[in-house]
Amino acid sequence: VVQYIAAFIVCAGIITVLAPSLFGGSDDEESSPTWALVLILSTVPMVLSSVYKEIALGDTDLDPIYLNAWIALFQFAFSIPLAIPAALVTSPPVYPSELPSNLYNGLLCYVGQSSIECDDDHYDDDGYDGTCATDDCALAPAFVNVYLLFNVSYNILIIMILKWGSSNLLWLAMTVMVPIGNLAFALPFMPDASTITPFDILGLVIIMAGLVGYRAGPDAAKSAGCCLEEDKAALMEDDELKKNLDEPLMQPTQGAYSDE
C-alpha cells in the first residue's frame, strides 16, 4: 500500500512539472495531445524491455556491461533499416538518395571537418527557411564523445538498477529526468535557454519524496509493526523454509554411538 501511495505521489510531481504546458494554453504543435499520446505509447516497448531484462538478470549472473554491449549491437542492426523513415521526419528532411552522403558528411563532422559552407545561412521566424546552412563542426568531437560517455554510463546504470532493484523502481526513478531536464536546459550556456519556474522546483521535491517513500516506505511500515501477518503467511509458504524446518537440527555423526 505504501508503494502505491508513493507511486501516486510521483505522478503528482510529474503533473506539477508539466502543469504550465498542459494548462497554459500553449499553441505549440509539439505539445499537442496527439504527440503526448504518441510519446506515451512509445514507452510501452521500453517498459516491456525493462521487465524482460529484470527477469533475465534475476535468473542468471550476467554482467551489466556485457549485456549493454549486446543491446547496443542489436540496436545498431535495427537502426539501419529505420534510418530511412527517421531521416524523412527530420527538419529539413533527408531523402533516401541523400542519406549516404549525409552520413559521410556526418562522419567528417565527427572528426571536426566541416563539409558544407555557404553564404546564404538564414533562418526565418518559423525556423529553417530551406536555404543553405553552414556546418559548425569545430567542437563536434568533444560534444559527441561527451554524449557517448554519458549515454553509455546512463544505460549501464539502468541495467544495474534492474539487476539489484526492479523495473518499477527504474521507471519511477526516470521521472526525475523531467524536472532535472528543465533545470538543465535553463543553464546560461544552453542554446535558447529556458527559464526555471516554481513548478519545476516543486515538482522535483514531490517526485523525490515519492521515490524515497517507494524505497523506504515498506521497511518503515515493517519496523512499525505493519504487515506482520502477511510476512508470516509468506514465510509459511516458502518451500525451502519448510524443508529446513522438517530436518533435525543435529545429525548424528558416524561412530558417535559406537561401542568402545
CA nearest to 64, candidates 156, 142, 132, 131: 156
Range of the domain at 82: 2-227
Distances (CA, A) of 117 to 3, 77, 133, 136: 56, 33, 7, 9
Q: Domain tally for the chain?
A: 1
Within a domain: 246: no
Q: What is the pLDDT of residue 232?
A: 57
Within a domain: 232: no
Q: What is the pLDDT of residue 73?
A: 92
Q: What is the pLDDT of residue 207?
A: 80
Within a domain: 145: yes
Within a domain: 254: no
Give yes or no for a contact between 68 and 152, defined as CB atoms under 8 angstroms apart: yes
Within a domain: 234: no
Q: Spell out the per-residue pLDDT of the chain, length 260, in tens.
A: 777 787 788 788 878 877 777 666 555 555 566 766 777 787 788 778 777 777 777 667 778 788 888 888 998 999 999 989 988 888 778 898 988 998 898 899 898 888 877 665 555 555 555 566 677 788 889 889 998 998 888 888 888 877 777 766 777 777 777 777 777 777 777 767 677 788 878 888 888 888 777 777 666 666 666 555 555 555 555 555 555 555 555 555 555 444 54
- Burial tier of 259 (Cβ tally within 10 Å: 0-12, 13-18, 19+): exposed
Q: What is the pLDDT of residue 260?
A: 46
Within a domain: 167: yes
Within a domain: 78: yes
CA distance 23 to 122: 34
The predicted model scores a pTM of 0.55
